[in-house]
Amino acid sequence: MIAKRPFGRTGWDVTEISLGCGTHVEDWNAEEERNFSNTVHHALDMGMNFFDTADSYNTEEWLGKALGASRSDVLVSTKVGKFAQGTGHALSYAIPEHVLLCCDASLGRLKTDVIDLYICHLDPPDDVDVFLEAFSRLKQQGKIRHFGASTNKLDVLKAMNRDGDCAACQLDYNMLDRQPEADIFPYCRENGIATIIRRPLDKGILSGRLTADQTFTDWVRKRWNQGAEREAYQRKIAQVEELKDLETPERTLVQAAIQFVLANSDVSCTIPGASRPDRLDDYIGALQTSLSAQDQALIDRVSAPRAF
């Protein structure tokens, strides 16, 4: 049984471990769709009630198909702002109508009449007013229920919450990146904004299964193969070596990473990604135990908490 947490001031209760659908696939083929669909069905069987995707992930359509009749039992968030960004033919999002069109397209791909949470994917958007105006119109039209921001930057979140109606912030937070403790979390707490924690495993680095000489072919991580991103990757792998002391016969490092995120009461939910169903069993296993004071001290040594 996955516990639910209040989701800001929306009135929703969301499973604290939910599913991120920005799956790290190498090719958008039928086999990957089957894996994805099986993962979504396993998440539903486990009682997960929140699914996060984006119009730039290619999984909106897969998610709509996989949810089928269960759509009405769960909450779905999707994002707008990066459609076709990788093709060189991205939209400018210079007028609200661009966002309105993208919303209609997402509704079609998701096979739904309403998007529960519509998130601005640009960080920052060139023109916040374009998105706020579009979100306001989409709410009036009943096409979205709430809107959110996708950012780790407090000034961007404040701009998106200018009128006090930004429902959620999707942000990075994990054992290697604790900046939100100092800025975004206190702001969200004071303003009733839900927090959705993406990348709780730092895209797999916190599984402890990746190596310093590894290279990547999937669409999300192939940029780690060279340059500054390669150096950052290798630094993190060294930090993870120290965190491996958190592994015990009863707990994997993945589970410790999820426990770390959920131990923070400012977190509304986390959305680890998974390319196959059995990953979810590992994630849910995190709910069986929790971090001790000694574990927390080890994490603080490797990745110091930020001052409030």
Nearer to ligand NAP, 82 or 98 (CB): 82
Cβ(10)–Cβ(194) under 8 Å? yes
* 3-state SS class at 52: strand
Is 100 near ligand NAP (CB under 6 A)? Answer: no
How long, in residues, is the chain?
Answer: 308
Phi first, then psi, for residue 259 (nearest 5°) are: -60, -40
Residues 29-68 as x/- pattern, contact with ligand NAP by CB under 6 A: -----------------------x----------------
Min. distance of Cβ 307 from ligand NAP in angstroms? 25
Min. distance of Cβ 97 from ligand NAP in angstroms? 23
Is 148 near ligand NAP (CB under 6 A)? Answer: no
Residues 6+ apart with CB under 8 A from 296: 263
Min. distance of Cβ 163 from ligand NAP in angstroms? 22
Nearer to ligand NAP, 64 or 204 (CB): 204
Please identify, among the stretches 17-25, 40-48, 105-113, 228-236, the one whose residues bind ligand NAP according to the rule CB under 6 A: 17-25
What is the residue whose two structure tokens read 């997960």? 48
Please identify, among the stretches 60-68, 92-100, 199-207, 229-237, the one whose residues bind ligand NAP according to the rule CB under 6 A: 199-207
Residues 241-280 as x/- pattern, contact with ligand NAP by CB under 6 A: -------------x----------------xxxxxx--x-
Q: Which candidate, 183, 85, 99, places its Cα nearest to that of 141? A: 99
Nearer to ligand NAP, 191 or 275 (CB): 275
Nearer to ligand NAP, 143 or 203 (CB): 203
Residue 63 has, within 13 A of its CA and on its CB side, a CA count of: 29
Please select the residue that binds ligand NAP; options are 24, 137, 145, 230, rule is CB under 6 A. Answer: 24
Per-residue H/E/C for 115-126:
EEEEEECCCCCC
Is 201 near ligand NAP (CB under 6 A)? Answer: yes
Nearer to ligand NAP, 140 or 211 (CB): 211
How much helix, strand and coil, in percent to the nearest 5, is found in the chain? Answer: 45, 15, 40
What is the residue whose two structure tokens read 């707490």? 189
When CB distances to ligand NAP are compared, the closest residue is 273
Quick one: CA dihedral 41, 1, 180, 290, positive or negative? negative
Binding to ligand NAP in span 164-193, by CB under 6 A: 170
What is the residue whose two structure tokens read 């937070």? 173
Written as one string, the DSSP assignment of 61-109 is: HHHHHHHGGGGGGSEEEEEES-TTGGGT------SHHHHHHHHHHHHHH
Is 96 near ligand NAP (CB under 6 A)? Answer: no
Min. distance of Cβ 140 from ligand NAP in angstroms? 25
Is 21 near ligand NAP (CB under 6 A)? Answer: yes
Token duo for residue 22: 């920005």
Judged by the rule CB under 6 A, the positions of this chain that interact with ligand NAP are: 20-22, 24, 52, 121, 150, 170, 198-204, 207, 209, 220, 254, 271-276, 279
